[in-house]
Amino acid sequence: MIRKATVKDAQDIFKILQHYALKGILLPRSLNSIYEHIRSFFVYEENGEIIGVGALHVFWEDLAEIKSLAVLEEHQHKGIGKQIVQECIKEAKELGVNKVFALTYVPDFFERLGFKITDKSDFPQKVWMECIHCVKFNDCQEVPVSYIVE
């Protein structure tokens, strides 16, 4: 089941994200950052265990980012990531945000959900607020994708 995260979930969210950050698949997030942004997170829970996570981060009145999307390997290819993305889009719509984007190493996944590959210059808020501080800024391999919320 998908639900909004609570503070009790922060440690589990951190472990999942850290697992993929150590592999170089996701950018790392500190536990402190997860607590600070806990209201942005969704978790997918099965039998009392969190097996998938994702967050919607609002940048501006018309722009939000899907961040920290991860599903444990043994639970991938079951539609969990898709459901988390759909919840993020649903929340964006409820908030009145009309464009959602993600920076990803797996653009095919997002394209199957209706996202289109775009250019980072479409998201100056992201680039100048966050990307500029990233250690991978000058050699970023993430592909920007966007989705128009209807």
Q: What are the boundaries of each domain within the chain?
A: 2-148
Q: How far is CA 75 from CA 18, 40, 46, 51, 147, in A?
A: 17, 22, 10, 7, 25
In the prediction, which pLDDT does 104 show?
86
Q: How far is CA 49 from CA 24, 34, 45, 84, 122, in A?
A: 24, 18, 5, 16, 37
Token pair, residue 139, equals 């050699």
In the prediction, which pLDDT does 11 show?
97
Q: Which CATH class is domain 2-148?
A: alpha beta
Are the beta carbons of 122 and 86 closer than 8 angstroms?
Answer: no
What is d(CA 41, CA 69) in angstroms, rounded to the nearest whole number? 9
What is d(CA 97, CA 119) in angstroms, rounded to the nearest whole number? 19
Reduced to 3 states, what is the DSSP secondary structure of residue 45?
strand
Token pair, residue 87, equals 């919840």
User: pLDDT tens, position by position, for the chain (150 residues)?
Assistant: 999 999 999 999 999 999 998 988 887 889 999 999 999 999 999 999 999 999 999 988 889 999 999 999 999 999 999 999 999 999 999 999 999 999 888 899 999 999 999 987 666 555 445 544 455 545 556 788 999 998
Exposed / middle / buried, residue 108 (Cβ in 10 Å: 0-12, 13-18, 19+): exposed
pTM recorded for the entire structure:
0.87
